[in-house]
Amino acid sequence: MKRPPAIDPRTHALFLDFDGTLVDLVDDPDDVALAAGRVARLQEMSERLSGALAIVSGRRIADLDRFLAPLAFAAAGVHGLERRRRPDGETEFLLQPEALDPVRDALAPTLEANQRLRLEDKGTALVLHYRTAPDLAAAAKSAMRHAVEGRDDLVVMDGDSIVEVHPAGMDKGRALADFLSAPPFEGRVPVYLGDDTTDEFALKTVSEQGGVAIKVGSKESVAEYRLADVADVHHWLDVCGI
């Protein structure tokens, strides 16, 4: 496992996935927690980076704010469909929730027949969770793909015990590239940490731009560097030079 190098707060920008990177994966997404000391450490790093730290997540920015309270950070939520370039800035929404109403209707019978599946409605994305019902993985994936049949404007993505649908043309890599086009991230070398399939888009973008792509865990990845797990992420953040 190739460990990531030290980071220079004068020249780097730091992008962090949330679930599986900053917090451990749990059965109920609402049960995650980040220790108060860890939130304060993120704030310290953001200040040392002159604000060039962002959380890039599949979650909504409003949910990230709740977990990271009382602080707020620059963030890309729902894989970039929500964006906030500065902690005190306004959140920009790239899609309205009504666009997914037909998908919600199509999924309803499957959810009724398989009540161990859990639908997480992010407004601009829908996620079927089967972590507590792994035997229903095939049913969840089939239902989601059937629900979007004929919709070229939507894309289905598999994740860690989830299957998600959101608008095509948006992923974490595009969101990261957008952040890098404007202050305080513009002109800095990107560093990205992520654990899931959905993070591969961002890790690829970082690699192509000569940045530091760090995969968390043991899954196959385009990333050059590795950290073992969430505990290892926090250890590295404490010693990375920021």
Are 81 and 18 in a shared domain? yes
Domain boundary among 112, 141, 167: 167
Are 26 and 125 in a shared domain? no
Per the structure, the complete domain to which residue 63 belongs is given by: 12-94+170-239
Beta strands in 44-202 (DSSP E): 53-56, 74-77, 82-84, 92-93, 118-121, 126-129, 154-159, 162-167, 189-194
157 belongs to a structural domain: yes
SS3 59: coil
Domain boundary among 140, 167, 194: 167
Q: In this structure, what CATH number is given to the domain that contains residue 78?
A: 3.40.50.1000
Angstrom CA distances, 32 to 14, 25, 29, 111, 235, stand at 22, 7, 6, 24, 19
Please give the pLDDT value at position 206: 97
pLDDT at 1 over 80: no
- Please state, in angstroms and rounded to a whole number, the distance separating the CA atoms of residues 81 and 125: 9
Please give the pLDDT value at position 187: 97
Q: Give just the sign of the alpha carbon dihedral 52, 53, 59, 64.
A: negative
Q: In this structure, what CATH number is given to the domain that contains residue 125?
A: 3.30.70.1020
pLDDT in tens, 26-83: 888 888 888 878 999 999 999 999 999 999 998 999 999 999 998 899 999 988 889 9
Report residue 4's pLDDT band, with 50, 70 and 90 as the boundaries.
Answer: very high
Domain total for the chain? Answer: 2
- Partnered with residue 164 across adjacent β-strands are 127, 157
- Please state, in angstroms and rounded to a whole number, the distance separating the CA atoms of residues 21 and 25: 9
Please give the pLDDT value at position 26: 85
**17, 19, 65, 196: which one is catalytic?**
17
3 belongs to a structural domain: no
- In the residue annotation, 17 being an active-site residue is answered as yes
Average pLDDT over every residue of 194-211: 95
